[in-house]
Amino acid sequence: MKAAIVHSFDQPPRFGDFADPVPAPGEVLVRVSAASLNLLTKARAAGSHYSSGKELNFVPGVDGVGRLEDGRRVYFVSPPAPFGSMAVLTKVAGKFVVPIPDEVDDVTMAAAANPAMSSWAALTERARMQKGETVLINGATGTSGRLAVQIARYLGAGKVIATGRNRATLEKLAALGADAVIPLEDSAESMAAAFARGIEGVDIILDYLWGKPAELLIVAVARQGGHDPAPRVRLVQIGSMAGAVVALPAAALRSSGLELMGSGIGSVSIGSLVRVIGAAARAIVPGKFAIEAEAVPLKDVEATWNARAEGRIVYTMD
């Protein structure tokens, strides 16, 4: 079969021929129509993600859209190595597929699934958000962050606060559901001051950045005074675009109601993630989610793997 193939962790995948998957008991064969190029897929293909395998050669792609042998159109996730979603055919456990609403096309679904899962699972499975709570999206100008703003509002957040460095994108987030924005300044002092002014009353933080911005945000939460006991704030760590580590003062935990947790493969079961994506898929149309997607033929994978596209790249098998 035709597929994108990772031959080296430091080179883009190449289009070529790969062995057809043969489903084992409990698995189903999927004829793939669309698979997104998301950060998780790129990190796994580079061998840098905590869930990466180390065996070459393999097909990249953690999820996608396709049809089962009985014709049903489904979203699927977690093909077993060495198979992935960026191929004409793949296989997955039967429990890791979910039907797609007819009104959501293949490319939109493929583009939306991974970023929608990141915030929907964080809010519902990890933070257990209650309607009316205030949610801060730290790093809201990326694809996942912009969708997180929309999902938080759809799930009933009373107030949504967005942070980010891209001022032009921040200004557009009000139309997607943000009530307030906090620009992330270049200096740590300016960033800390902005957090101190803007986080009063926050119940949940979805963090896509980690690194210095998260470190300063944690300190700002710890410094909120005037309450006995301190207000409960759940910080859910999702991404690490600004750095893989933080300096965490012990006093920040002792003196505050801050609760730190993560959301991803391992902290949330794959079965739960599949259910989450099914719920998100059913919300795309009624929620009027704005989703960026650019369809690219899979044969162009090598040339486009590291391209900076305006939209979200979705590889199609046509």
44-82 pLDDT, tens digit each: 999 888 888 888 999 999 999 999 999 999 999 999 999
94, 131: one domain: no
d(CA 278, CA 188): 40
Q: Would you say residue 186 has pLDDT above 90?
A: no
Nearest partner of 147 among 54, 30, 239, judged by Cα: 239
Angle at 50 between CA 49 and CA 54, to 5 degrees: 75
Is there a domain that residue 150 lies in? Answer: yes
Q: Please, what is the average pLDDT of the chain?
A: 94
Residue-wise pLDDT tens digits, 246-262: 999 999 999 899 999 99
State the residue range of the domain holding 257. 115-262
Same domain, yes or no: 31 and 64: yes
Q: Higher model confidence: residue 92 or residue 308?
A: 92
In this structure, the number of other CB atoms found within 10 A of the CB of residue 85 comes to: 29
Share of the chain above pLDDT 90, in %: 86
Whether residue 86 contacts residue 59, with contact meaning beta carbons closer than 8 Å, is answered with yes
Give the CA angle between residues 114, 298, 119 to the nearest 5°: 5
The answer as to whether 271 is a domain residue is no
Q: Are residues 73 and 169 in the same domain?
A: no
Domain count, the chain: 2
Cβ(138)–Cβ(206) under 8 Å?
Answer: yes
Q: Is 304 left (phi over 0), alpha (psi -120 to 50) or beta?
A: alpha
Q: Answer yes or no: is pLDDT of 310 > 70.
A: no
What is the spatial distance between Cα 50 and Cα 244, in angstroms, rounded to a whole number? 12
Same domain, 119 and 254: yes
Structure tokens given for 16: 């070529």
Burial bucket for residue 16 (CB in 10 Å: 0-12, 13-18, 19+): middle
pTM exceeds 0.85 for this model: yes
Please check whether residues 122 and 252 belong to one and the same domain: yes
Summarize the confidence of residues 198-220 as an average pLDDT: 96
In tens, the pLDDT along 119-141 reads 999 999 999 999 999 999 999 99
> CB neighbours of 11 closer than 8 A, spacing ≥ 6?
none
Is pLDDT at 204 greater than 60 in this prediction? Answer: yes
**Are residue 85 and residue 154 in the same domain, yes or no?**
no
CATH of the domain at 29: 3.90.180.10
Mean pLDDT to the nearest integer, 293-306:
95
